[in-house]
A and B are shown apart, each in its own frame.
Chain A
Amino acid sequence: MDRLVFLLGTGLARGAVLALFALALVLIWRGARVVNFAQGAMAVVSTYVAFEVTSLTGSYWLGLLAALLAGGLLGFAVERGVMRFASPVSPLSGVILAIGLVMVLQSALGIVFGPDYRPMRVPFDDTAIVVGGVPLLSPYDLFVLVVAVVVMAALAVLFRWTSLGLQMRAAAFAPEVSRLLGVRVSRTVTVGWVLSSVVGSLAALLLVPTSLGLNPHATDSLFVLGFTVAVVGGLDSPVGALVGGVVVGVAMSLVTGYLGAGLVPIAVLVLLVLVLLLRPAGLFAAAEARRA
């Protein structure tokens, strides 16, 4: 029983990270109709920035800040430098460009930093807080949860209540009409990429310290999990990403706890197949024309 509670708690924290990462995918999918297969690679670049800055200055927080900045810059550069070439009539070209980017970023990191796993440290205790004799969450898990909730709330405010958010939503749903109304759509698309890249980087930054360590491929499985979350929740639905993140996070935590961490990739695969077979529009999305 105690073990179950602990696994649920850890799963919640993991799920929050997955939700953030999936949210970043949803942001770009809504804004540009591209699934950013390079999001993991972009986030791992930011994480290396954090690692280097933290090693140089000794401050985790400076590293975090630098990584978020780098994430934003990278999002800007990728959208302006690479994704602009994506054909509007072929959804494939965006995927292929993103794959090219994955190869470039990961191999460049491999050349600069080598293939070794570098452990990342965080200024938090990672032993679980015990409440009433039951181990719940570690302080780091708590920190992750708080950050995730704050970021999601901030995004909700941005999209619901600001002029920029309104423009971004309008541009995502009806780009041509939005242009006629004076919305600079190419600019809102860029903002979407920057935001998404920052959020994706944050997710990787929060996750890598709890995994094997930093390596050019450290986010490969994060991407697959994030994609699964986005599919479970519905690629169009930010709320779906949130709920999907928690569902997948908890499910994977239970699999890890009861069946072993080695089974997680298979469990993800099974979940993905089942969701696509049974509820292709996602568990939570308003049924949109995914089955064209």
Chain B
Amino acid sequence: MTGRQRLPGQRPLLRTLLVAAGWTVVALAGTFALDPFRNYQLALVAAYLCATAGLTVLVGATGQLSLGHAALMAVGGYGFALTTNALPFGGIPAFVLALLAGVLASAVVGLLLGLAAARLSGPYLAGLTLAVVVALPAVASTWSTVLHGDQGVQIPFEGVPDGLRRVVALEQWQAMVAVLVTAAVVTSLTVLRGGRFGLRMLAVRDDEVAARLSGIPAGRVKVLAFTASSAAAGVGGAVLCFVAQAVSPGAYTVGFSLLLVVAVVIGGLGSILGAALGSVVIVLLPWLIGRLTSNLPADAAQRLDGNLAVLVFGLLLITVMAVAPHGLHGALVARRRRTTPDVPRPTAEPAPRKVLVPTEEQR
């Protein structure tokens, strides 16, 4: 027990940074142990984690859901790709500039969408963001002179920097970059949520009217939360573009957007660690299922390809919501709590109600 009383949602900054640094070092060291394909998968997980961490903070802190984070990733990806192609130089400076451009683009789009729907309570943000993903291919083909339609935008190949070429392979390099960028995003989100703004978000989520009465501009808090979440997704898209050296609407479908929701839900809504677990699951499970079905006859394999994974994810989503609304992470925490007797239990709990968004102590 620490001496100073802390309000829920507040977390010591130093501890956050140390934890983040620890995870980052572990992940970076891990890249040396993985083969190229695993490193590629690690890079995917990292890129997805940017988006799912943003999504889970949005859901956990404001109680709103976005079904369009894939589109926001795409915005980040396009911003990254177009900037990379426009810059006369390459290397790390170009990468950083392009990344910033991608984040900026997705934050601006997020701000606009947030102004339209995030202020409202109810399913409006979910519906609007769904409309965004559905419209993405049309956007790409309408402005095809810039966005190149279904083809998407390619960026020039950027190998491992000269100094490191002997030590690390391309996939490992990409994984390391992805891990570092993601670490920055996740740390920012954690700090954001742990600070004053995080408290405001929780206040707005739990009782918007009460929050307004205490002088919290609820609408603005929700819009900003969505903007931050969009920016995080945009980073994910930029990283994905860096890894794939291309961005195209075909990669950011409704299906992929729903997959991000799956990751966040099975990990446990509101939990960043859960989002990480969920991101691993949505990368590994389709790959595993693909391996299992690859021995089947071509027709069957073609029908199962993709669909079987989606079927499993759909069932998983329903089961998690029905059985363990706090997701994987929540279940783990609950288990740990059951086995540690010294955690004080609430004595007079009001009527048992299923609360979807976990309380701070469960995160």
Contact = CB atoms under 8 A, between A and B. Distances in A.
Nearest to B310: A107
A219 B138 CA distance: 17
Contacts of B334: none
A231 B354 CA distance: 28
7 interchain residue pairs of minimum CB distance: A103-B314, A100-B317, A90-B356, A104-B314, A265-B135, A107-B310, A85-B322
B314 A101 contact: yes
Interface of B: 59, 63-65, 67, 112-113, 115-117, 119-124, 126-128, 130-132, 134-135, 137-139, 141-142, 208-209, 254-255, 258, 261-262, 265, 269, 302-304, 306-311, 313-318, 321-322, 325, 353-357
A272 B126 CA distance: 12
B172 to A, nearest CB: 33
Q: Is chain A's binding surface mostly helix, strand, loop or mixed?
A: helix
Interface string A203-244: 000000000000001001101100110010001000000000
Given A224-B134, A262-B142, A100 B311 contact: no
A269 B63 contact: no
A4 to B, nearest CB: 23
A89 B325 CA distance: 13
A273 B258 contact: no
A273 B120 CA distance: 12
Interface of A: 35, 37, 82, 85-93, 95-97, 99-108, 110-112, 114-115, 217, 220-221, 223-224, 227-228, 231, 235, 262-266, 268-269, 272-273, 276-277, 280, 290-292
Contact of A96 (B137, B303, B306, B317): B317
A277 B355 contact: no
A273 B314 contact: no
Contact of B353 (A89, A108, A114, A217): A89
Contacts of A108: 307, 311
A40 B208 CA distance: 32
9 contacts: A35-B123, A91-B122, A100-B313, A262-B138, A265-B135, A269-B131, A272-B116, A272-B127, A273-B116
Nearest to B121: A292
Contacts of B115: 277
B142 A292 contact: no
